[in-house]
Amino acid sequence: MRILGIETSCDETAVCLIEAEGNLGADFTFRILGNGIASQAVAHADYGGVFPNLAKREHGRNLVPMLEIALRESGALNLRHEKGLTMSFSRLRKSLKNILAREPELFERLEPFLNEHARPDVDAIAVTVGPGLEPALWVGINFARALSLAWNLPIVAANHMEGHVVISMTEFLDSHNLSGRIDYGNEKRYIEGNIVKFEFPAVTLLISGGHTELILMKEWMQYEYLGRTRDDAAGEAFDKVARMLGLPYPGGPHISRLAEDSRQNNLPRAVTLPRPMLKEDTYDFSFSGLKTAVLRFTEQQQTLSEELKKQIAREFEDAVTEVLIAKTIRAVEEFGANAVVVGGGVSANKHIRAELHRQLSAVNQCIPTLQGVNPAGRECPPAHKRRALLVSSFSARKYESSLSYFSRSTSLVNCKLLLCPTEFSTDNAVMIALAGYFHALKKEFAKPDTLRASGDLLLA
Ligand code: KG4
Ligand code: ZN
Protein backbone atom coordinates (compact mmCIF):
# COMPACT_ATOMS: atom_id res chain seq x y z
CA MET A 1 0.00 0.00 0.00
CA ARG A 2 1.29 3.46 -0.89
CA ILE A 3 0.61 6.21 1.62
CA LEU A 4 1.10 9.92 1.12
CA GLY A 5 1.99 11.45 4.51
CA ILE A 6 1.32 15.12 5.32
CA GLU A 7 2.60 16.86 8.45
CA THR A 8 1.99 20.54 9.35
CA SER A 9 1.37 20.47 13.11
CA CYS A 10 4.19 22.84 14.03
CA ASP A 11 7.01 24.46 12.07
CA GLU A 12 7.94 21.69 9.68
CA THR A 13 6.11 21.36 6.36
CA ALA A 14 6.55 17.76 5.33
CA VAL A 15 5.14 15.50 2.64
CA CYS A 16 6.34 11.97 1.88
CA LEU A 17 5.36 8.89 -0.04
CA ILE A 18 5.98 5.49 1.51
CA GLU A 19 5.20 1.97 0.42
CA ALA A 20 4.34 -0.42 3.23
CA GLU A 21 3.17 -3.97 3.60
CA GLY A 22 2.47 -6.49 6.34
CA ASN A 23 1.09 -6.10 9.81
CA LEU A 24 2.40 -4.90 13.16
CA GLY A 25 4.34 -7.50 15.07
CA ALA A 26 4.41 -9.74 12.01
CA ASP A 27 5.90 -9.19 8.60
CA PHE A 28 5.76 -5.42 8.36
CA THR A 29 8.20 -3.63 6.03
CA PHE A 30 8.25 -0.19 4.47
CA ARG A 31 10.22 1.90 2.00
CA ILE A 32 10.50 5.67 1.88
CA LEU A 33 9.98 6.46 -1.78
CA GLY A 34 10.13 10.24 -1.50
CA ASN A 35 10.47 12.73 1.34
CA GLY A 36 10.09 16.50 1.18
CA ILE A 37 10.62 18.54 4.33
CA ALA A 38 10.89 22.32 4.77
CA SER A 39 11.84 23.72 8.14
CA GLN A 40 10.53 27.13 9.15
CA ALA A 41 13.00 27.48 12.04
CA VAL A 42 14.67 30.55 10.52
CA ALA A 43 11.33 32.27 9.96
CA HIS A 44 10.38 31.79 13.63
CA ALA A 45 13.80 32.61 15.08
CA ASP A 46 12.92 36.26 15.82
CA TYR A 47 9.95 35.15 17.91
CA GLY A 48 12.03 32.67 19.94
CA GLY A 49 9.36 30.04 19.31
CA VAL A 50 6.73 29.09 16.79
CA PHE A 51 4.34 31.87 15.82
CA PRO A 52 1.10 30.12 14.73
CA ASN A 53 -0.04 32.49 11.98
CA LEU A 54 3.41 32.62 10.45
CA ALA A 55 3.50 28.80 10.53
CA LYS A 56 0.12 28.68 8.75
CA ARG A 57 1.33 31.02 5.99
CA GLU A 58 4.59 29.13 5.51
CA HIS A 59 2.76 25.77 5.28
CA GLY A 60 0.50 27.28 2.60
CA ARG A 61 3.57 28.25 0.60
CA ASN A 62 5.59 25.09 1.14
CA LEU A 63 3.11 22.22 0.83
CA VAL A 64 2.99 22.02 -2.98
CA PRO A 65 6.79 22.24 -3.40
CA MET A 66 7.18 19.47 -0.77
CA LEU A 67 4.56 17.33 -2.54
CA GLU A 68 6.46 17.83 -5.75
CA ILE A 69 9.72 16.69 -4.12
CA ALA A 70 8.07 13.63 -2.56
CA LEU A 71 6.52 12.58 -5.88
CA ARG A 72 9.57 13.35 -7.99
CA GLU A 73 11.85 11.30 -5.73
CA SER A 74 9.31 8.48 -5.92
CA GLY A 75 9.24 8.57 -9.70
CA ALA A 76 5.52 9.36 -9.39
CA LEU A 77 5.50 12.89 -10.79
CA ASN A 78 3.98 12.56 -14.24
CA LEU A 79 2.54 15.19 -16.54
CA ARG A 80 -1.13 15.15 -17.39
CA HIS A 81 -1.94 14.58 -21.04
CA GLU A 82 -5.12 16.57 -21.10
CA LYS A 83 -4.21 19.91 -19.62
CA GLY A 84 -6.34 23.02 -19.45
CA LEU A 85 -9.71 23.72 -17.95
CA THR A 86 -11.68 20.80 -19.24
CA MET A 87 -15.25 20.54 -17.97
CA SER A 88 -14.32 18.17 -15.21
CA PHE A 89 -11.29 20.22 -14.19
CA SER A 90 -13.25 23.47 -14.00
CA ARG A 91 -15.77 21.76 -11.72
CA LEU A 92 -12.93 20.43 -9.59
CA ARG A 93 -11.36 23.89 -9.52
CA LYS A 94 -14.52 25.32 -7.96
CA SER A 95 -14.59 22.69 -5.21
CA LEU A 96 -10.87 23.16 -4.53
CA LYS A 97 -11.41 26.88 -4.18
CA ASN A 98 -14.08 26.17 -1.59
CA ILE A 99 -11.94 23.73 0.39
CA LEU A 100 -8.97 26.11 0.33
CA ALA A 101 -10.98 29.28 0.93
CA ARG A 102 -8.85 30.09 3.97
CA GLU A 103 -5.59 29.12 2.28
CA PRO A 104 -5.53 31.29 -0.88
CA GLU A 105 -1.75 30.94 -1.30
CA LEU A 106 -2.07 27.18 -1.20
CA PHE A 107 -4.87 27.25 -3.77
CA GLU A 108 -2.75 29.40 -6.08
CA ARG A 109 -0.02 26.77 -6.03
CA LEU A 110 -2.14 23.62 -5.96
CA GLU A 111 -4.50 24.47 -8.81
CA PRO A 112 -1.80 24.70 -11.53
CA PHE A 113 -0.01 21.68 -10.03
CA LEU A 114 -3.11 19.51 -10.33
CA ASN A 115 -3.84 20.85 -13.78
CA GLU A 116 -0.39 19.89 -15.01
CA HIS A 117 0.20 16.60 -13.25
CA ALA A 118 -1.40 13.21 -13.51
CA ARG A 119 -2.83 11.37 -10.52
CA PRO A 120 0.08 9.51 -8.88
CA ASP A 121 0.01 5.86 -7.88
CA VAL A 122 -1.11 6.32 -4.26
CA ASP A 123 -3.65 4.36 -2.16
CA ALA A 124 -4.36 6.67 0.78
CA ILE A 125 -3.45 9.97 2.42
CA ALA A 126 -2.45 10.25 6.10
CA VAL A 127 -2.61 13.74 7.54
CA THR A 128 -1.86 15.00 11.05
CA VAL A 129 -5.06 16.26 12.70
CA GLY A 130 -3.51 16.89 16.15
CA PRO A 131 -2.07 17.58 18.59
CA GLY A 132 -0.38 20.78 17.46
CA LEU A 133 -1.08 24.37 16.51
CA GLU A 134 -4.60 24.47 15.11
CA PRO A 135 -4.04 27.14 12.43
CA ALA A 136 -1.07 25.09 11.20
CA LEU A 137 -2.94 21.76 11.36
CA TRP A 138 -5.84 23.15 9.30
CA VAL A 139 -3.58 23.89 6.34
CA GLY A 140 -2.45 20.26 6.16
CA ILE A 141 -6.00 19.00 6.64
CA ASN A 142 -7.43 21.18 3.87
CA PHE A 143 -4.54 20.21 1.60
CA ALA A 144 -5.36 16.54 2.26
CA ARG A 145 -9.06 17.15 1.56
CA ALA A 146 -8.20 18.88 -1.73
CA LEU A 147 -5.93 16.02 -2.84
CA SER A 148 -8.48 13.44 -1.70
CA LEU A 149 -11.10 15.06 -3.91
CA ALA A 150 -8.81 15.56 -6.91
CA TRP A 151 -7.34 12.06 -6.83
CA ASN A 152 -10.21 10.17 -5.21
CA LEU A 153 -8.18 8.94 -2.24
CA PRO A 154 -9.30 7.97 1.28
CA ILE A 155 -7.88 9.93 4.24
CA VAL A 156 -6.56 8.67 7.57
CA ALA A 157 -6.66 11.20 10.42
CA ALA A 158 -3.26 10.66 12.04
CA ASN A 159 -2.24 11.50 15.61
CA HIS A 160 1.13 13.28 15.61
CA MET A 161 2.25 11.59 18.85
CA GLU A 162 1.36 8.15 17.50
CA GLY A 163 3.64 9.04 14.60
CA HIS A 164 6.50 9.67 17.04
CA VAL A 165 5.76 6.35 18.78
CA VAL A 166 5.62 4.28 15.59
CA ILE A 167 8.74 5.73 13.97
CA SER A 168 10.71 5.19 17.19
CA MET A 169 9.96 1.48 16.90
CA THR A 170 11.39 1.24 13.40
CA GLU A 171 14.68 -0.15 12.32
CA PHE A 172 16.25 1.15 9.12
CA LEU A 173 17.87 -1.64 7.20
CA ASP A 174 20.55 0.28 5.35
CA SER A 175 21.41 2.73 8.10
CA HIS A 176 25.08 2.68 7.17
CA ASN A 177 24.18 4.48 4.00
CA LEU A 178 22.33 7.22 5.78
CA SER A 179 24.59 10.09 6.61
CA GLY A 180 22.53 12.69 8.35
CA ARG A 181 20.50 13.74 5.33
CA ILE A 182 18.32 11.72 3.10
CA ASP A 183 20.04 12.16 -0.21
CA TYR A 184 18.87 10.00 -3.02
CA GLY A 185 21.33 11.50 -5.48
CA ASN A 186 21.31 9.97 -8.92
CA GLU A 187 21.24 6.50 -7.57
CA LYS A 188 17.66 5.50 -6.88
CA ARG A 189 18.01 3.97 -3.45
CA TYR A 190 15.03 3.83 -1.23
CA ILE A 191 15.40 3.72 2.52
CA GLU A 192 13.91 0.52 3.84
CA GLY A 193 12.85 -0.38 7.32
CA ASN A 194 10.74 -2.54 9.54
CA ILE A 195 9.58 -2.61 13.14
CA VAL A 196 11.89 -3.95 15.82
CA LYS A 197 10.77 -7.23 17.34
CA PHE A 198 9.93 -6.86 21.00
CA GLU A 199 7.46 -8.05 23.59
CA PHE A 200 4.88 -5.98 25.41
CA PRO A 201 4.45 -4.30 27.82
CA ALA A 202 6.48 -1.32 26.64
CA VAL A 203 7.05 1.98 28.38
CA THR A 204 7.06 4.93 25.98
CA LEU A 205 8.66 8.27 26.76
CA LEU A 206 7.56 11.04 24.39
CA ILE A 207 9.61 14.22 24.63
CA SER A 208 8.99 17.00 22.14
CA GLY A 209 8.49 20.73 21.92
CA GLY A 210 4.89 20.48 23.10
CA HIS A 211 4.73 17.19 25.01
CA THR A 212 6.42 15.23 27.78
CA GLU A 213 4.57 12.00 28.41
CA LEU A 214 5.15 8.56 29.89
CA ILE A 215 2.87 5.99 28.37
CA LEU A 216 2.31 2.29 29.00
CA MET A 217 1.64 0.12 25.95
CA LYS A 218 0.29 -3.38 26.60
CA GLU A 219 -0.65 -3.91 22.96
CA TRP A 220 0.01 -2.39 19.56
CA MET A 221 -1.57 1.05 19.24
CA GLN A 222 -3.03 0.95 22.76
CA TYR A 223 -1.90 3.65 25.12
CA GLU A 224 -2.33 4.31 28.85
CA TYR A 225 -1.00 7.59 30.14
CA LEU A 226 1.18 7.15 33.23
CA GLY A 227 2.16 10.79 33.55
CA ARG A 228 2.80 14.00 31.68
CA THR A 229 4.21 17.44 32.25
CA ARG A 230 2.20 19.76 34.46
CA ASP A 231 3.63 22.85 32.77
CA ASP A 232 6.41 23.21 30.20
CA ALA A 233 7.35 20.36 27.89
CA ALA A 234 10.97 19.20 27.89
CA GLY A 235 11.66 20.67 24.43
CA GLU A 236 9.99 23.93 25.41
CA ALA A 237 12.32 24.16 28.42
CA PHE A 238 15.35 23.53 26.17
CA ASP A 239 14.15 26.26 23.81
CA LYS A 240 13.47 28.80 26.59
CA VAL A 241 16.77 28.19 28.36
CA ALA A 242 18.56 28.48 25.02
CA ARG A 243 16.95 31.86 24.53
CA MET A 244 18.17 32.98 27.97
CA LEU A 245 21.68 32.05 26.86
CA GLY A 246 21.31 34.00 23.62
CA LEU A 247 21.10 30.87 21.46
CA PRO A 248 18.84 30.65 18.40
CA TYR A 249 15.56 28.72 18.09
CA PRO A 250 15.18 25.74 18.22
CA GLY A 251 17.49 25.69 21.20
CA GLY A 252 17.75 21.94 21.97
CA PRO A 253 20.62 21.14 19.61
CA HIS A 254 22.54 24.29 20.71
CA ILE A 255 22.21 23.48 24.42
CA SER A 256 23.31 19.94 23.65
CA ARG A 257 26.42 21.18 21.83
CA LEU A 258 27.43 23.53 24.66
CA ALA A 259 26.79 20.88 27.31
CA GLU A 260 28.94 18.40 25.44
CA ASP A 261 31.73 20.95 25.24
CA SER A 262 31.53 21.45 28.98
CA ARG A 263 31.77 17.70 29.59
CA GLN A 264 34.65 17.23 27.19
CA ASN A 265 36.61 20.09 28.78
CA ASN A 266 35.76 19.01 32.32
CA LEU A 267 34.49 22.45 33.25
CA PRO A 268 33.61 22.72 36.94
CA ARG A 269 29.98 22.93 38.02
CA ALA A 270 29.07 26.63 38.21
CA VAL A 271 25.45 26.29 39.24
CA THR A 272 23.25 23.67 40.89
CA LEU A 273 19.78 23.43 39.41
CA PRO A 274 16.77 21.59 40.85
CA ARG A 275 15.63 18.14 39.64
CA PRO A 276 11.89 18.85 39.69
CA MET A 277 9.60 16.06 40.94
CA LEU A 278 12.47 13.58 40.81
CA LYS A 279 11.58 11.95 44.11
CA GLU A 280 7.81 12.45 44.03
CA ASP A 281 5.69 9.37 43.75
CA THR A 282 4.13 10.30 40.41
CA TYR A 283 4.99 9.88 36.76
CA ASP A 284 4.18 13.53 36.12
CA PHE A 285 6.88 16.03 35.22
CA SER A 286 7.37 19.77 35.72
CA PHE A 287 10.02 21.84 33.97
CA SER A 288 8.90 25.41 34.51
CA GLY A 289 10.64 25.73 37.92
CA LEU A 290 13.87 24.49 36.38
CA LYS A 291 13.59 27.10 33.62
CA THR A 292 12.91 29.83 36.23
CA ALA A 293 15.94 28.71 38.25
CA VAL A 294 18.10 29.21 35.15
CA LEU A 295 16.55 32.63 34.61
CA ARG A 296 17.24 33.68 38.21
CA PHE A 297 20.83 32.52 37.97
CA THR A 298 21.46 34.30 34.67
CA GLU A 299 19.91 37.52 36.01
CA GLN A 300 22.39 37.46 38.89
CA GLN A 301 25.36 37.37 36.52
CA GLN A 302 26.92 40.56 35.22
CA THR A 303 27.94 38.88 31.99
CA LEU A 304 27.44 35.42 30.57
CA SER A 305 30.82 34.27 29.35
CA GLU A 306 30.98 31.50 26.76
CA GLU A 307 32.38 29.22 29.45
CA LEU A 308 29.54 29.99 31.86
CA LYS A 309 26.97 29.33 29.12
CA LYS A 310 28.50 25.90 28.63
CA GLN A 311 28.35 25.18 32.36
CA ILE A 312 24.71 26.26 32.60
CA ALA A 313 23.80 24.23 29.51
CA ARG A 314 25.39 21.14 30.99
CA GLU A 315 23.75 21.47 34.38
CA PHE A 316 20.38 22.10 32.72
CA GLU A 317 20.75 19.11 30.38
CA ASP A 318 21.84 16.92 33.30
CA ALA A 319 18.79 17.98 35.35
CA VAL A 320 16.30 17.26 32.53
CA THR A 321 17.99 13.97 31.71
CA GLU A 322 18.02 12.75 35.30
CA VAL A 323 14.32 13.42 35.81
CA LEU A 324 13.22 11.93 32.49
CA ILE A 325 15.23 8.77 32.89
CA ALA A 326 14.55 8.19 36.60
CA LYS A 327 10.81 8.17 35.95
CA THR A 328 11.14 6.02 32.84
CA ILE A 329 13.18 3.43 34.72
CA ARG A 330 10.76 3.47 37.62
CA ALA A 331 7.97 2.68 35.14
CA VAL A 332 10.07 -0.09 33.54
CA GLU A 333 10.50 -1.66 36.95
CA GLU A 334 6.92 -1.23 38.09
CA PHE A 335 5.37 -2.64 34.91
CA GLY A 336 8.10 -5.17 34.06
CA ALA A 337 8.52 -3.58 30.65
CA ASN A 338 10.31 -5.49 27.92
CA ALA A 339 10.92 -2.39 25.86
CA VAL A 340 11.46 1.33 26.30
CA VAL A 341 10.39 3.40 23.31
CA VAL A 342 11.68 6.98 23.24
CA GLY A 343 10.41 9.47 20.68
CA GLY A 344 9.92 13.15 19.87
CA GLY A 345 12.39 15.89 18.96
CA VAL A 346 14.21 15.86 22.31
CA SER A 347 15.01 12.17 21.85
CA ALA A 348 17.60 13.31 19.30
CA ASN A 349 19.63 14.53 22.28
CA LYS A 350 22.95 12.69 22.43
CA HIS A 351 23.34 12.84 26.21
CA ILE A 352 19.79 11.60 26.85
CA ARG A 353 20.40 8.69 24.45
CA ALA A 354 23.70 7.79 26.10
CA GLU A 355 22.23 7.98 29.62
CA LEU A 356 19.16 5.95 28.66
CA HIS A 357 21.42 3.26 27.40
CA ARG A 358 23.74 3.35 30.40
CA GLN A 359 21.00 3.36 33.02
CA LEU A 360 18.91 0.69 31.32
CA SER A 361 22.00 -1.52 31.21
CA ALA A 362 22.40 -0.96 34.95
CA VAL A 363 18.81 -2.00 35.57
CA ASN A 364 19.32 -5.11 33.50
CA GLN A 365 22.47 -5.92 35.43
CA CYS A 366 20.34 -6.38 38.52
CA ILE A 367 19.55 -9.85 37.34
CA PRO A 368 22.77 -11.85 37.51
CA THR A 369 23.52 -10.80 41.09
CA LEU A 370 20.25 -12.26 42.39
CA GLN A 371 20.94 -10.67 45.73
CA GLY A 372 18.52 -7.85 45.56
CA VAL A 373 21.23 -5.31 44.96
CA ASN A 374 23.34 -4.96 41.82
CA PRO A 375 27.02 -3.98 41.79
CA ALA A 376 26.11 -0.31 41.50
CA GLY A 377 24.18 -0.63 44.75
CA ARG A 378 20.86 -0.19 43.05
CA GLU A 379 17.87 -1.96 44.53
CA CYS A 380 16.63 -4.71 42.26
CA PRO A 381 12.97 -4.83 41.34
CA PRO A 382 11.04 -7.78 42.73
CA ALA A 383 11.50 -11.07 40.90
CA HIS A 384 8.22 -10.98 38.99
CA LYS A 385 9.22 -7.63 37.58
CA ARG A 386 12.68 -8.81 36.69
CA ARG A 387 11.69 -11.63 34.41
CA ALA A 388 12.50 -9.63 31.33
CA LEU A 389 15.74 -8.11 32.42
CA LEU A 390 18.94 -9.88 31.53
CA VAL A 391 22.18 -8.49 30.38
CA SER A 392 24.11 -8.70 27.16
CA SER A 393 27.18 -6.59 27.49
CA PHE A 394 28.14 -7.33 23.91
CA SER A 395 25.01 -5.79 22.44
CA ALA A 396 25.26 -2.99 24.96
CA ARG A 397 28.74 -2.13 23.74
CA LYS A 398 27.63 -2.44 20.16
CA TYR A 399 24.89 0.03 20.90
CA GLU A 400 27.24 2.48 22.49
CA SER A 401 29.49 2.53 19.45
CA SER A 402 26.58 3.25 17.13
CA LEU A 403 25.00 5.75 19.46
CA SER A 404 26.24 9.00 17.99
CA TYR A 405 25.25 7.53 14.67
CA PHE A 406 21.65 6.67 14.62
CA SER A 407 18.91 4.69 15.99
CA ARG A 408 18.97 1.62 17.37
CA SER A 409 16.99 -0.88 18.86
CA THR A 410 19.55 -2.48 20.93
CA SER A 411 18.76 -5.51 22.81
CA LEU A 412 19.66 -5.04 26.44
CA VAL A 413 18.61 -8.57 26.36
CA ASN A 414 14.90 -8.50 26.85
CA CYS A 415 14.36 -4.93 27.85
CA LYS A 416 15.11 -3.25 24.56
CA LEU A 417 15.76 0.43 24.02
CA LEU A 418 14.01 1.65 20.89
CA LEU A 419 15.09 4.94 19.34
CA CYS A 420 14.87 6.04 15.73
CA PRO A 421 17.61 7.66 13.64
CA THR A 422 18.04 11.19 14.96
CA GLU A 423 16.84 12.86 11.76
CA PHE A 424 13.51 11.11 12.22
CA SER A 425 13.22 12.10 15.91
CA THR A 426 12.08 15.60 14.99
CA ASP A 427 8.87 16.18 13.04
CA ASN A 428 8.60 14.56 9.62
CA ALA A 429 5.94 13.11 7.34
CA VAL A 430 7.29 9.55 7.34
CA MET A 431 6.10 9.03 10.91
CA ILE A 432 2.63 10.25 9.90
CA ALA A 433 2.52 7.96 6.86
CA LEU A 434 3.60 4.99 9.01
CA ALA A 435 0.99 5.64 11.72
CA GLY A 436 -1.58 6.20 8.97
CA TYR A 437 -0.72 2.93 7.27
CA PHE A 438 -1.75 0.82 10.28
CA HIS A 439 -5.11 2.56 10.43
CA ALA A 440 -5.56 2.29 6.66
CA LEU A 441 -4.98 -1.46 6.97
CA LYS A 442 -7.99 -1.57 9.28
CA LYS A 443 -9.91 0.70 6.91
CA GLU A 444 -10.13 3.37 9.60
CA PHE A 445 -10.72 6.22 7.19
CA ALA A 446 -12.13 9.65 8.01
CA LYS A 447 -14.87 11.46 6.16
CA PRO A 448 -13.00 14.38 4.51
CA ASP A 449 -15.72 16.92 5.33
CA THR A 450 -15.80 16.06 9.01
CA LEU A 451 -12.04 16.30 9.58
CA ARG A 452 -11.16 18.79 12.29
CA ALA A 453 -7.89 20.11 13.68
CA SER A 454 -7.57 19.09 17.31
CA GLY A 455 -4.84 21.01 19.12
CA ASP A 456 -5.05 18.85 22.27
CA LEU A 457 -5.70 15.46 20.68
CA LEU A 458 -4.83 12.61 23.04
CA LEU A 459 -3.62 9.09 22.35
CA ALA A 460 -6.14 7.51 24.68
O1 KG4 B 1 8.99 16.57 17.94
P2 KG4 B 1 9.47 17.92 17.55
O3 KG4 B 1 10.24 18.05 16.27
O4 KG4 B 1 8.28 18.92 17.46
C5 KG4 B 1 7.16 18.84 18.30
O6 KG4 B 1 6.31 17.95 18.07
O7 KG4 B 1 7.14 19.65 19.23
O8 KG4 B 1 10.35 18.47 18.77
C9 KG4 B 1 10.94 19.74 18.69
C10 KG4 B 1 11.71 19.98 19.97
C11 KG4 B 1 12.25 21.40 20.09
O12 KG4 B 1 11.90 21.91 21.35
C13 KG4 B 1 13.76 21.21 19.97
O14 KG4 B 1 14.52 22.17 20.69
C15 KG4 B 1 13.93 19.83 20.55
O16 KG4 B 1 12.84 19.10 20.05
N17 KG4 B 1 15.18 19.20 20.12
C18 KG4 B 1 16.17 18.88 20.99
C19 KG4 B 1 17.22 18.34 20.20
N20 KG4 B 1 16.83 18.36 18.90
C21 KG4 B 1 15.57 18.89 18.88
N22 KG4 B 1 16.25 18.99 22.32
C23 KG4 B 1 17.39 18.58 22.92
N24 KG4 B 1 18.44 18.07 22.24
C25 KG4 B 1 18.40 17.93 20.89
N26 KG4 B 1 19.45 17.43 20.24
ZN1 ZN C 1 6.62 16.27 17.15
94, 453, 66, 162 alpha-carbon torsion, rounded to 10°: -140
Pocket test of ligand 1: the residue of 44, 162, 205, 208 to mutate, having most ligand atoms within 8 Å of its CB, is: 208
Nearest CA to ligand 1 atom 3: 426
Nearest CA to ligand 1 atom 16: 345
Q: Determine how β-strand 408-410 pairs with β-strand 12-21.
A: unpaired
Specify the pLDDT at position 189: 64
Q: HEC string of 346-384?
A: HHHCHHHHHHHHHHHHHHHCHHHHCCCECCCCCECCCHH
Each residue's pLDDT tens digit, 398-426: 333 333 333 334 434 468 999 999 989 99
Phi/psi at 350 (5° precision): -60, -45
Q: Is the CB of 50 under 6 A from ligand 1?
A: no
Average pLDDT over residues 287-314: 98
Task: Assess whether pLDDT exceeds 60 at residue 182.
Answer: no
Task: Assess whether pLDDT exceeds 60 at residue 379.
Answer: no
User: Considering every ligand atom, which ligand is closest to the CA of 237?
Assistant: 1
Average pLDDT over residues 316-325: 98
CA distance 100 to 142: 6
Q: Is 35 exposed, middle or buried (0-12, 13-18, 19+ CB in 10 A)?
A: buried
Whether the Cβ atoms of residue 180 and residue 317 lie closer than 8 Å to each other: no
Integer CA distances (angstroms), 31 to 69, 193, 282, 370, 407, in order = 16, 6, 40, 44, 17
Q: Is the CB of 346 under 6 A from ligand 1?
A: yes
Taking the model in full, what pTM does it have?
0.89
